């Protein structure tokens, strides 16, 4: 139980540190809106990568898992 509290406090402390920097990426120099890509680039990534490439990656990954499926014997495992 102590490990759970330790992990939760670590995550909360990191979130608090990240929140203290908002809205600055580099403190007091570059804001989040200054660091963002232009809207045209964001639209290209959404339509190109998000709606075209990602649907191709998912079936490829499924095929790769089906090709290499099977149980590995204990003497061939990494552990």
List pLDDT tens digits, range 49-64. 889 899 999 999 999 9
Which tokens belong to 12?
């909360």
77 located within any domain: no
- pLDDT class for 8, splitting at 50, 70, 90? very high
CB 23 within 8 A of CB 32: yes
Range of the domain at 14: 1-33
Q: Is residue 76 domain-resident?
A: no
Q: Is there a domain that residue 27 lies in? A: yes
Q: And the tokens for 13?
A: 């402390």
Percent of the chain residues past pLDDT 90, beyond the cut: 48
- pLDDT, tens only, 32-43: 788 889 999 999
Q: How many domains does the chain have?
A: 2
If DSSP codes are grouped into helix, strand and coil, which group holds residue 26?
Answer: strand
């Amino acid at each position: 139980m102590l490990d759970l509290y330790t992990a939760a406090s670590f995550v909360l402390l990191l979130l608090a540190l990240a929140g203290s920097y908002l809205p600055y990426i580099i403190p007091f120099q570059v804001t989040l809106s200054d660091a963002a890509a232009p809207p045209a680039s964001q639209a290209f990534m959404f339509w190109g990568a998000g709606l075209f490439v990602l649907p191709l990656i998912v079936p490829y990954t499924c095929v790769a898992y089906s090709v290499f499926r099977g149980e590995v014997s204990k003497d061939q495992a990494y552990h």
